[in-house]
Amino acid sequence: MPLNPVIERFLHYLDAELNYSALTVAAYRNDLAQWTEALTAGTGEPDFASVTTSDIRAWMVQRSGRGDCPRTLRRKLQSVRSLYRYLMSRGEVDANPAAAVELAKVPKPLPSMVREKNIDALLDSEVDMDDFEQVRNRLIIMMFYETGIRRAELIGLLDRNVDTAKGELRVHGKRDKDRVVPFGSELRDWIGQYRRLRAETGATDDEFFVREHGGKLYPSLVYRVVHDGLRMAGASGKTSPHVLRHSFASSMLNGGAGLGSVKELLGHESLATTQIYTHITFSELQHNYKLAHPRALKKGE
């Protein structure tokens, strides 16, 4: 279907000069076709210079009423914004009326977690305490769950920064910031056993975690250790190292830790980042309530 010549020229610009993919250009074409049809009611050509912010806002309301989800509404508005930036760059309009229209908010999905029963099943299962790889792999999972550190932080952990006497890890995190993360006696005992077995491999690197014949860990190896371990323990859904970080945060809050303390342990810059975990714990609370409370079990609850 042919569009307004101005829009056709804009789409050609996206394709030929910006090298946008065919799918992206097709999405722009569809969005702008819907917009111009609504703008003119199919009676003529749009006057782009006379379009107001209110016109665009009204179109957003119309599209929402037709069932467009927030993600789709954002894309449609961004298509109109991009068209006006293009027209402004060529002096064809003086302002971008779409710039003042607020983008629809897309709900952020809650982080995935592993249930405590699955983690307990894994951490309580038997391990050959004389096998370096088995002990190291179990320690990797324990350290993620009991300290909440990131995968890159675990891989970069230096041996001198693991202090079993104080029960502390000194972690080098994002934005080159260091933080101290405490750990308990169980993790301390596993660290001691791991270090004894590591010494037998002849590893001499500064890294705390190493491969069986020396050498630094790599991301896909760490992912596989966590994924395989959690799958064997019956966990479903996502089973990545970051899921264990989420599980650590949720377990801390469920156990009574303050939000500010969890923020510091995770190394978050903002408390707002940590607050997502309060939604996880409340969702779990709702789930348990519906399973347990007699009134919640009534039909329709």
Q: Which positions are annotated as active-site residues?
A: 150, 174, 242, 245, 268, 277
Residue 13: DSSP 8-state: I
- What CA–CA distance (Å, rounded) separates 96 from 53? 8
Residue 137 contacts residue 189 (beta carbons within 8 Å): no
Residue 93: DSSP 8-state: -
For 156-225, the DSSP string reads: T-BGGGEETTTTEEEEE-GGG-EEEEE--HHHHHHHHHHHHHHHHHT---SBSSB-TTSSB--HHHHHHH
Please list the residues that pair with 107 across neighbouring strands: none
Residue whose C-alpha is closest to residue 183's, from 154, 221, 223, 218? 154
The tokens for 103 are 């983008």
Q: Three-state SS string across 241-275, please? A: HHHHHHHHHHHHHHCCCCHHHHHHHHCCCCHHHHC
Distances (CA, A) of 96 to 45, 87, 297: 19, 9, 53
Phi then psi for residue 82, to 5 deg, are -65, -40
Residue 84 contacts residue 98 (beta carbons within 8 Å): yes
Which string of b and e fits 151-165 if b means at least 16 CB within 10 Å?
A: bebbbbbeeebbeee
Q: Three-state SS string across 17-61, please? A: HCCCCHHHHHHHHHHHHHHHHHHHCCCCCCCHHHCCHHHHHHHHH
